Structure 1
Amino acid sequence: MIEQLPQAFLNQMRALLGPNFDNFFLTYQDEPARAARFQYGQPENLEQIPWEENARYIPFDSSLGQSIEHEAGAFYIQEPSAMLPARLLSPKASEKVLDLCAAPGGKATQLAQIMQNTGVLVCNEPIVSRAKILSSNIERMGVSCAIVTQSYPEALAQRFPDYFDKILVDAPCSGEGMFRKNPEVIGEWSQNSPETCARRQSDLLDCAAQMLRPSGKIVYSTCTFNEIENEGVIKDFLSSHPEFATVDTVINGLKTSKGCIRFYPHTVKGEGHFACLLEKSKLISANNLQLVSTTKKTSKYAPPHEKTTKVLSEVKRLVRLEKIGGQVQLFQNSYVLSPIELEMFEGIKLLRLGLHLGKFKGKTFIPDHALARALPAKHIIPLSKEDAYRYLYGEELGIISCNISKVQFVVVSYQGLPLGWAKIVGDRLKNHYPKGLRKALR
């Protein structure tokens, strides 16, 4: 590992760290730290991540990512330091939040967890393959308040001036902080990488500034060490945006300095990360003249009242809907429950809009997989470990014991975790686990 590190990178780090360089250098002989962020209770036998109350360190050779529980959305495998930016942003329940560079979804699902799955969470990724992974992780983790967009930031900025309460800009970077975790990144690095990345990072921050409401907050973060992409980008941004200032805070004893905080592998149990908290002044922006309407009105994509009533009736037969708000809308031939109107995204490509409920096939309502993951089902059939493996592989199952009658669709579960839908056909359970998700875990 050490012999792969470019000399130019080592020279840069020696100049940056001074007498602490040797301690930093020695960490490249160690294994990188791994962690999991849990949704349903925390294992007591694992060490907590200091800056994320829902996360625990896991062994380097852990196979949790290939478990039934992982497929069921019980936890998200996430690099420990990568959990800092969302906690620094600390969005409140019911706020409007944007994750501008959201794939693959670790920080986005963390934001949703902090927001208690309420409000509006727009998760953006311009690259189609990465946007699909993002959408899949949003679904796996049972997030119901998220809208997944596939758009360049400039287009979003034109559509949503002064709209969001909080914005996370986890900017693409030269990746120096990930050299230990992902050695393949080393080959992509050059001395010119920081300046090239910084130009794009500045553009991203400019777009974010346009979309943030007065008194709103931005967290800018990277997984790199050099000052050009970190303090340098912040300095340039503040000089061209006098309406912004850095904000100091404390996260479980970790203090920011001039709004910024740095993680090094020799100072924390994690990889390299940088984050900075910025706040926009309360002065009214000229952009408010173009502000996208947020008044609650009936969407033109909302189905007729009778159809909405029928959809909600079908959904309420299957799950407990009491705690979810929003408006039923028709999106990509399926019914969804969205926190905002679909027309607000006209001209923006969408992959996901709130909670996907399902669709009608003839007179039969076919529930969406996301519905099983997001809300408690009324009819559940628990599976053994063996049958859970078979279900996730896509096999049909027999019903060993079932007191459910006159119900077509049920959720199958493993140790209390919902896996997905199955349809009762006689004494069999027809598998409705999405074909694109099926896999052999054994």
Structure 2
Amino acid sequence: MTGRGSRSGFRVAVIGAGTAGVATARVLSEKGFDCVVFEKHSKAGGLWADNYYGASVQMPKSMYVFPDEPHSEEASEFMGMDEVCDYLERIIDKHEIRKCFRFNTQVTEMKQLDGGIWSLTVKDLKTDVSTDDTFDYLVMCNGTFSSKPHRPNFRGQEKFEGKIMHSSEWRSADEFAGKKVVIVGMGKSAVDACMVASEVGKSAVQLVRSMHWFTTSHVGFIPTDVVVFTRFFQMMLPPFYSSSSVYKRLHKLTAPVRWLYFRTLEALMLTNYRLPRKLWPRSRLEVDLLHPALFDGPRQYLADVRSGRIDVKMTTIDEIKEATVVLSSGEEVEADLILLGTGWDKTIGLFNDVILNRLAVEEDGIWMYKNILPPGIDRMAFIGSNAFTAINPVTHVVQAKWLAAMLTNEMPTPSRKEMEQDIWN
């Protein structure tokens, strides 16, 4: 894409200053590229810069960290959103890349000109002034699950005399104080809301279609990281798409061993949960491993469920009345506030129709080479948008380094045909 001696003046636009954006800016800047990071918030953090009340990372700090930037001993084991933002801000200052960042700036339009150059229209959110700028390369680091809350519609919701809010709008425990709160969902935000509602609210009812597996600090008596981060555990997972045919055949032959392994893990995890049988997950652990609900379940949540302070009902909403919620089971629950912990819709809102067509966007997203390069568009990459792992910051750094190797010709850039063959074969 660009020779080793021609990086100076090669401008790269990075959209978003979360962990992916900071990792990309640092790696590319160290390689000599002229990076400009656009972030609509006033500080680094991405989704952590503006999140729901009490939001925190759902994995230990030892896993949510850049490879060469350990957290301080004072950092919480499960860091809050302010701690994550402060961590990223420290990295920006330590590596002297703050000049790359344009905070309070929102990209409102982008288009690709002849020759592959990108033209971006950006708005200064403080002055409300828009300007145009051009770049040689575009890196999307703003994710696809952070701009459009998923809000299911319910029959009769317009009659409700209380408040219906998405978890992204929740900003204070006071909003739950003394109220009968109904929480919809089983994800991290829903679980956090349940704990607060059980503490300050009059009642906390959680509605879930089904319970999912979530990790605890130990699997039985064994630390979770000792179980999960091993070559043996990796062998129990579905083979990677590029694995050899021999490995895939061997994997099929060991199906009984894998079945027994995961059933054993489930039994050990249930000893940690100590939940009534009716609340046991019905799905298999190896399936839920790929589900975003697999997070570190807070002990307090499990304790509140066991004590009944959080009333978990495995059902859905059939109808909403003035002061009650009618469930599909036929039960009617009193409610002053309904909180929707229902996640986000996958959106790619910055792109015009021309770009969307070239990206070949499907219902479940975009097919990309190595989950980074879209075959249909040159001079564009996605970092952190199409790959979810338990160690996202490390993944973002690896992706950024891989992209840097492409841009510096340390690795050859594959043709569109080669990318598509890798994706579809």
Query: What is the TM-score normalised by the length of structure 1?
Result: 0.25
More strand by share: 1
Q: Which has the higher contact order (CA 8 A, sep 6+)?
A: 2
Query: What is the TM-score normalised by the length of structure 2?
Result: 0.26
